[in-house]
Amino acid sequence: MSDESQELGITESKSHKPGEWYAEVVQKANLADYAPMGGFIVTKPRGYALWEAIQESLDGWFTDTGVDNVYFPMFIPESFLEREKDIVEGFDPEVAWVTHGGHDELEERLAVRPTSESIIAPFMADWTRSHRDLPMRLNQWCSVVRWEATETKPFFRTKEFMWQEGHTAHASNEGAWEEVWTRLEQYERVYEDVLAVPVLRGKKPEHDKFPGADTTTTVEALMPDGKSVQGATSHNLGQSFAEAFDITFADENEDEQTAYTTSWGLSWRALGALIMTHSDDQGLVLPPTVAPTQVVIVPIWQEDTKEDVLEYSEGIADDLETAGFRVELDDRDERNPGFKFNEHELNGVPLRLEIGPHEVDDAEVTLVHRPDNAESVADRDGIVDAVDEHLDEIFDKLYESAEENLEENVREAHSPEEILGTIGKHGGYVKTPWCGDEACEEVIKEKIAAEIVMQPLEDEGGSTAGDVPEPDHDECGVCGDPADEIAYFAKSY
Ligand SMILES: [Zn+2]
């Protein structure tokens, strides 16, 4: 390897130093960089393209299920935020405030939105007059700011982050539940079918739900280092926001009723989960579904074969492009094939086609899978179908490997020692009966910083309340008191 290609490559190890490794992959694969202010990042074109791939899928599904996009101001008057005291309390230490406009002190402080319930709800109240106005489903793609004093980790922990926030109002509690499940299913689908990251569906324990919510549902993804990522949340807000902001409507008998509301959000943390799940010590690994370049063609020539090899490669690039694949022909003169292989591996291009004089003579193409270097040969004639099949195969490989990690890492425990020992040794999720008392979570949290990340749901995608199944074993895994719930403990991002 030349000095140059060593500098290009990843030097940290995913299994030994996952934090350093992750930061290196993000920077060297050109996804993001650190901003001059602590806690902020600059998203580069290749990183933003991944976010756009998520947006494109989700936004299409939102539209198909009755959601309208809107945009509200990034500033929220303090008095608006205070109308929902649970929100203020929940976010108080994390809110960034604007106190001046130019040289003048503002009469009322403005919060930089930590979430938009308190500015959207008053308008929903205004727009909701009759039962015919419901359901009302609004969504905005924007960024929010939460001033947390933690170490910056691109896409996982930043003071400002990109997300979408959906806000809906319904005439009945059933309507609100249906909405909660619809969004949770779409989040599950974007993780599993687009990002190749399997997730568990659940709800947050009472003490950890969104401020003011009746129920917070979540999809959780397990990272290879044994920590859980909260992938997205969908909240049933019951009538608390509707009561605070007067979201009422006239029913069919012209009687005034209070609406039921929901909110739901997915942030670019999904990119963090994507990068962390699939990438390796050679760099970024991406499923073909989101990869900005799905196929790279690397021609390998000598002076006397250059013309033939290039012409053959261009024909293949044209065929693939016409068929709709995102393809790049890397015909740079100044780089040798070895350098190109390394660079495209680092950047996570899922499939590489190698074309030399032998391939030209035999009317064939050599295909190499990014995740595991599996190599095979296909006929030139059927190259479009072959590439299609190989990309599917690569997606399946990534999904199956992540699924295996998830399945192997859900374990049961029935005592505090067993919970601590199991998480300490293996990471992953520890499933235990739970009495419902937050104090029992504290016992575990204090010792190893693991918490209850979710409770499984009884009614998979059902239309009403998210009940937790009864445990078989009826003593709390921490205190031994009677338990009628199940909790999943894990360390989390
Ligand atoms: Zn207990």
Residue 476 CA to ligand 1 centre (angstroms): 5
Residue 488 CA to ligand 1 centre (angstroms): 13
Contact between 307 and 349 (Cβ < 8 Å): no
Residue 243: its H or E element? helix 240-244
Q: What is the DSSP letter of 470?
A: P
H helix runs in 92-237, sequence order: 117-127, 173-189
Q: How far is CA 462 from the centre of its chain?
A: 23
- Separation of alpha carbons 430 and 420, rounded Å: 9
Q: What is the pLDDT of residue 464?
A: 62
Residue 5 CA to ligand 1 centre (angstroms): 55
Contact between 58 and 164 (Cβ < 8 Å): yes
- Residue 143's nearest CA partner among 156, 155, 160, 121 is 160
Q: What is the pLDDT of residue 463?
A: 47
Burial class (CB in 10 A: 0-12, 13-18, 19+), 126: exposed
Residue 75 CA to ligand 1 centre (angstroms): 42
Distances (CA, A) of 30 to 27, 98, 328: 5, 33, 17
Residue 472 CA to ligand 1 centre (angstroms): 16
List strand residue ranges (DSSP E) for 35-155, in order.
41-43, 68-69, 75-77, 97-101, 104-112, 136-145
Residue 431 CA to ligand 1 centre (angstroms): 13
Q: How far apart are the first and last CA of the chain?
A: 36
Neighbours of 456 (CB within 10 A): 18
Token pair of 13 as six digits:
């190890």
Residue 483 CA to ligand 1 centre (angstroms): 7
Q: What is the pLDDT of residue 2?
A: 43
Residue 428 CA to ligand 1 centre (angstroms): 21
Residue 434 CA to ligand 1 centre (angstroms): 5
Residue 481 CA to ligand 1 centre (angstroms): 6
DSSP states of 191-203 as a string? IIIIS----EEEE
SS3 assignment, position 9: coil
Residue 493 CA to ligand 1 centre (angstroms): 24
Please list, residue by residue across 368-383, b when 16 or more beta carbons sit within 10 angstroms of its beta carbon and e when fewer do: bbbbeeeeeebebeeb
Residue 438 CA to ligand 1 centre (angstroms): 8
> ∠ CA 112-113-118 to the nearest 5 degrees?
130
Walk along the chain (493 residues) in steps of 10 and give the mean pLDDT of each run.
59 94 97 96 97 97 98 95 76 90 96 94 96 97 92 95 98 97 97 98 92 93 96 96 94 97 97 98 98 98 95 98 98 95 97 97 98 98 98 98 96 94 95 94 93 84 63 86 94 92
What backbone phi and psi angles, to 5 degrees, belong to 298?
-110, 105
- Separation of alpha carbons 194 and 51, rounded Å: 12
With a CB cutoff of 8 Å and minimum separation 6, the contacts of 225 are 18, 276, 427
Token pair of 262 as six digits:
């929901």
Query: Position 360: which residue type?
Result: V
Q: What is the DSSP letter of 347?
A: T
Residue 416 CA to ligand 1 centre (angstroms): 10
Contact between 142 and 163 (Cβ < 8 Å): yes
Place of tokens 């009687």: 255
Residue 487 CA to ligand 1 centre (angstroms): 11
Q: Within 13 Å of residue 320, how many CA atoms lie on the same side as its CB?
A: 27
Secondary structure tally for the chain: helices H, strands E:
15, 23
What's the whole-model pTM score? Answer: 0.94
Which domains, ranges and CATH numbers included, belong to the chain? 12-278 (3.30.930.10), 295-395 (3.40.50.800), 413-491 (3.30.110.30)
Residue 441 CA to ligand 1 centre (angstroms): 8
Residue 22 CA to ligand 1 centre (angstroms): 36
Distances (CA, A) of 295 to 157, 214, 326, 353, 367: 31, 46, 6, 7, 10
Residue 4 CA to ligand 1 centre (angstroms): 57
Q: Within 13 Å of residue 180, how many CA atoms lie on the same side as its CB?
A: 33
Residue 410 CA to ligand 1 centre (angstroms): 20
- Would the CA dihedral through 184, 185, 190, 192 be positive or negative? positive
Distances (CA, A) of 92 to 53, 223, 237, 240: 33, 30, 19, 19
